[in-house]
Structure 1
């Protein structure tokens, strides 16, 4: 129930808040101009202001009958900036308080001033470890010839409790008006600064008060920039015969220019080699490439700021400059996000700043891969105009094209790999390719390719596998030594060597990964079937119990529900396994017919040919034949030209 006392308390609270509200009346052509003017006068943000419309403005017609807006503008008392004092006694807004060190200790102080006919006392209490002011010191200072009387008990009380920043009367003195302090207000010609120069009072004369200085400023037409804090500081600690600033114009603040923040290193000189955990620097990992993926934010424009206008002491506007806008540095293969300020990568590649434009290059070109470049890892295509030297690696999400030779190193590509010269791996080189591989020759290298391998010269002493075809189509077109595997077929002119010095093994007609996956799927399916049998037995037991009892305890009912859920999950999982098993088996059945080895020249003795899992070891040199699978054996047939219509060269090559 709302009582009269409750209403009184609420009204008292509202009254206290209303006392904190100071308003000004502003006239301007627009609402925005009026609020901007008030923000300058209150020295606050527009967001902290509230207003009432006294007279509504009118834009007029063709410039006629134009009427300004008249607003009563005031600060929200809950948002009025509180004041704190810095280390050196400076006044700091609470908004800036977080950036300063708080005062932990300060001695107490007292100020004695003679205003009118009264002796006034102001006492500041100590802070922290500071020492308090002494009442005896105050009394001693008051014992002067012009003092009539003072209240010692009141002085002691005030020294103990403080005066909350106010001057409090504590006695009377013999006032001589002719001995009063005299002050002069000077205003600079540019209306930016007002100073007060005070001549000290003689014995019996009054000091200059805050109200006197403010009244003098107002009488001279000063309407903006009056500093209560500076005037109060001058009254508390007057500097006689020296001009002291008591009012300053609100200077305009130019807006900051727009600028770009980059999410990558634009200064390549700052890119450093990678440091290992033991502190050693790996000069093969130079980190020169800054890879980005499609849609990745590369940079953002920070918008230009509007300037904050100022005001002279006489209220004249001081215009501020707005910050300059700049265009977005849009280069190749980048786009602008929906916010109109963020630059995104339009494709995978390396981000570069070229002629002050942000670009993403999906193709990287280098003269060679060596100590100058370090290892290369790139989200795109890498073109090497020279050689990839021993010990250096190239990894690319696109193609890798090498004009020179590839040494004892690793090439990994999600696309094709094209090596115009040969690959000399020295038993440590490794090639991994998600597409097809083209090379002049391959020596002592491990090669794993997802599609085709096309070689114009020879494959020697290498471990080579392709998920589709291996084709040697040059004048020599010879496979000598090592293990060569292709899922579909191997095509060469000569296989093995005279005298059979090195073992040469050719395998076709099966997919080892598919076969391994099939075995895994069959094992998982069998395990699921066993689990399913156990589940069905437990479900049947609980359902029979439910039929007999007509209901189950809560725990048993939850258990039955979970068992049925698990059963449905396993059935769905087995259905997925069945689909994958059928696809793999269809693939393997297809390979029965296409697993072949074509030899247009000579197969030397000692060569081992595997078609599917069956072996044919060549006992004597044989020419012009095909090896294929039939009725559980490896058969030999007369050579015929294979169909290579599905083999296409890499893009840009013939």
Structure 2
């Protein structure tokens, strides 16, 4: 046990935070100037990688050095600094002077000597001998004294001589016990010449005779015997006081005081007021808080052994609000939905919908794991990112909106050539101007698309009274539906493309190229493998290096074959998708397609040279054909949830 305590004294700890467990341990290793393998750690807060980079949380560790690997720093005999990780070979040295104590117990003169430590000064033999020569001293063994001073007494008193003992001159002491039975003191009257000192055994016996059974401190008694304090009460025993248990409490994994949330600082130290960090995003299943259990109290004892009751800690209820649940351990609170975590009326809640009056300097940019509802406008220069839908009642300016769901803009989008909309679902808007739009499903506009780059993996539909596309490039895999396309007089270039999937086409080209490269590598591997196998047949064995090379070549061959199988599966899927597109790809214009408009259907071009009314463009026999306007089927186009 003493060895363990000695090691524990040398152990230091540091607290580190990092994005990953490995990074945190590496940081601690640098601080300790040791290897990661020499560290032990305690996880204070588990890290979390986040969702698409959102709600990322660092690991928080308390890291210790392995007690068997603690680096010792000692001072050598010549003052040099010595470092070692071998605890058995070098001990930590703390300098301490030697000491001696002379006391008269009974009829004997007793001596205790402690040896110096490190650079400490030893006890001088002649000083001890001189101190022994009192008027009442009969005799003492000088050789024994010198030997004990030189070698020490192992923290014990040794008899070294005799003196003329007068019992009437002995020191006397009194034991007093407090009325609450919590403390006992010894008051010693000093001995006269020829009198004996008080022994530790005498004090302990007196305590026992007065009924003291708990809290006796041998260390305090021995210290009083070694260095007596006369005519003053000195504590020699104390009751074992009860320790009340701590109440249960909640540790939060998020900032509960929103006033402490601060804006991000740029690399140059300037505050970015667009990144206010007011939203604490969490994902479903993320730990939000944990209840630390109430502790049981530890009972105590009076000096007489009477029981002293301790209070147990009080339990508390888990502060459960909306969209949270309790983990299987019964103590950890988890998010039950994506959203922002809030402490509302002292209860933990996760809000999957965030409502703001507008997006501006007051809110900063918004990044939210859920649906964002903006009651006003998204002002120029501010961005909104959401894993759910984005709904904007006002206009959207020169901004970036990114959503994994739908985007609904009740008014229009005015991008000023820098605005960008990225949508994982469908986009609804009154109009789109000078904006880049990328949508995974449909774009539905009630007024117009002007001078914009708009692409949709399904359809682009303009269904209002004006319903006009003017300027820019508009692409849809299935269909573009509008009233008017282009501008009168052809002053603004307008391009409409339908009937193909550019991303699928590009990926197909990449896959075919990678597959061809693999086939070339396979041919080379087959040749090298064949050469080595023929050599092995002739020689019946191969040198070690060539045998290892043959194994490696076969492994590479198998890896490439497996890779090609995956490429083939993806190629077949893409080709099936492209075959499906053969029967789709149309441009519908119920009003006028103005001269100068360029129509691309499945890579084939039709440039309109004269205004054309009520027309449908489609692909047939390698050409873009024109037919009478036919009403497209839009039964499957439904408005966003909650809108008509």
When normalised by structure 2's length, the TM-score is: 0.82
Instruction: Give the distance between the partners of 2:359 and 2:460, measured in 1 at CA.
Output: 28
Instruction: Give the distance between the partners of 2:620 and 2:209, measured in 1 at CA.
Output: 118
**Deviation digits for residues 291-328 of structure 1, max 9, x if unmatched?**
22222222222222221111111111111111222222
Instruction: Give the distance between the partners of 1:171 and 1:529, measured in 2 at CA.
Output: 102
For 1:553, which of 520, 535, 542 is the aligned residue?
Answer: 542
Cα 1:236–1:484, aligned 2, differ >3 Å: closer, same or farther? same
Structure 2 partner of 1:488: 478
Structure 1 partner of 2:208: 218
Instruction: Give the distance between the partners of 1:364 and 1:356, measured in 2 at CA.
Output: 20
Q: How does 1:228-247 map to 2 (within 5 A)?
A: 228-247=218-237
Match status 1:166 vs 2:156: yes
**Deviation digits for residues 4-36 of structure 1, max 9, x if unmatched?**
xxxxxxxxxxxxxxxxxxxxxxxxxxxxxxxxx
Instruction: Give the distance between the partners of 1:119 and 1:304, measured in 2 at CA.
Output: 56
Structure 2 partner of 1:289: 279
Cα 1:202–1:536, aligned 2, differ >3 Å: closer, same or farther? closer
Structure 1 partner of 2:517: 527
Match status 1:611 vs 2:607: no
**8 Å Cα contact 2:535/2:542 also seen in 1:** no
**In structure 1, the residue corresponding to 2:236 is in which secondary structure?**
strand
Structure 1 partner of 2:136: 146
Alpha-carbon RMSD:
2.0
Instruction: Give the distance between the partners of 1:598 and 1:451, measured in 2 at CA.
Output: 18
For 1:574, which of 564, 567, 570 is the aligned residue?
Answer: 564
Cα 1:142–1:284, aligned 2, differ >3 Å: closer, same or farther? same
Match status 1:205 vs 2:195: yes
Distance apart, 1:568 and its partner CA: 4.4
Which of 564-573 and 602-611 deviates more?
A: 564-573
Match status 1:432 vs 2:432: no
Distance apart, 1:562 and its partner CA: 5.0
Distance apart, 1:109 and its partner CA: 2.2
For 1:392, which of 356, 371, 382 is the aligned residue?
Answer: 382
Cα 1:644–1:426, aligned 2, differ >3 Å: closer, same or farther? same
Instruction: Give the distance between the partners of 1:501 and 1:103, measured in 2 at CA.
Output: 91
Instruction: Give the distance between the partners of 2:568 and 2:201, measured in 1 at CA.
Output: 96
Instruction: Give the distance between the partners of 1:353 and 1:323, measured in 2 at CA.
Output: 24
Structure 1: which 5+ residue stretches go unaligned?
1-101
**8 Å Cα contact 2:450/2:471 also seen in 1:** yes
Cα 1:129–1:575, aligned 2, differ >3 Å: closer, same or farther? closer
Instruction: Give the distance between the partners of 2:149 and 2:548, measured in 1 at CA.
Output: 78
Match status 1:352 vs 2:361: no
Structure 2 partner of 1:277: 267
Instruction: Give the distance between the partners of 1:491 and 1:248, measured in 2 at CA.
Output: 92
Cα 1:153–1:568, aligned 2, differ >3 Å: closer, same or farther? closer
Distance apart, 1:408 and its partner CA: 0.5
**Deviation digits for residues 552-574 of structure 1, max 9, x if unmatched?**
53666665555555444444433
Which of 565-574 and 163-172 deviates more?
A: 565-574
Distance apart, 1:107 and its partner CA: 2.6
Structure 2 partner of 1:335: 325
Instruction: Give the distance between the partners of 1:252 and 1:444, measured in 2 at CA.
Output: 75
For 1:402, which of 392, 397, 412 is the aligned residue?
Answer: 392
For 1:132, which of 114, 122, 146 is the aligned residue?
Answer: 122
Match status 1:462 vs 2:452: yes
Cα 1:125–1:567, aligned 2, differ >3 Å: closer, same or farther? closer
Cα 1:449–1:358, aligned 2, differ >3 Å: closer, same or farther? same
**8 Å Cα contact 2:376/2:395 also seen in 1:** yes
Structure 1 partner of 2:498: 508
Q: How does 1:77-96 map to 2 (within 5 A)?
A: none
Cα 1:109–1:541, aligned 2, differ >3 Å: closer, same or farther? closer
Structure 1 partner of 2:170: 180
Structure 2: which 5+ residue stretches go unaligned?
1-91
Instruction: Give the distance between the partners of 2:173 and 2:528, measured in 1 at CA.
Output: 104
Task: Give the count of matched residue pairs.
Answer: 552
When normalised by structure 1's length, the TM-score is: 0.81
Distance apart, 1:337 and its partner CA: 2.1
Cα 1:437–1:112, aligned 2, differ >3 Å: closer, same or farther? same
Structure 2 partner of 1:596: 586
Instruction: Give the distance between the partners of 2:476 and 2:499, measured in 1 at CA.
Output: 7
Cα 1:535–1:127, aligned 2, differ >3 Å: closer, same or farther? closer
Structure 1 partner of 2:352: 362
Structure 2 partner of 1:622: 612
Cα 1:112–1:507, aligned 2, differ >3 Å: closer, same or farther? same
**In structure 2, the residue corresponding to 1:222 is in which secondary structure?**
coil
Distance apart, 1:583 and its partner CA: 2.6
Cα 1:246–1:469, aligned 2, differ >3 Å: closer, same or farther? same
Instruction: Give the distance between the partners of 2:560 and 2:132, measured in 1 at CA.
Output: 99
**Deviation digits for residues 371-392 of structure 1, max 9, x if unmatched?**
1111111122111111111111
Which of 551-560 and 228-237 deviates more?
A: 551-560
Which of 124-133 and 173-182 deviates more?
A: 124-133
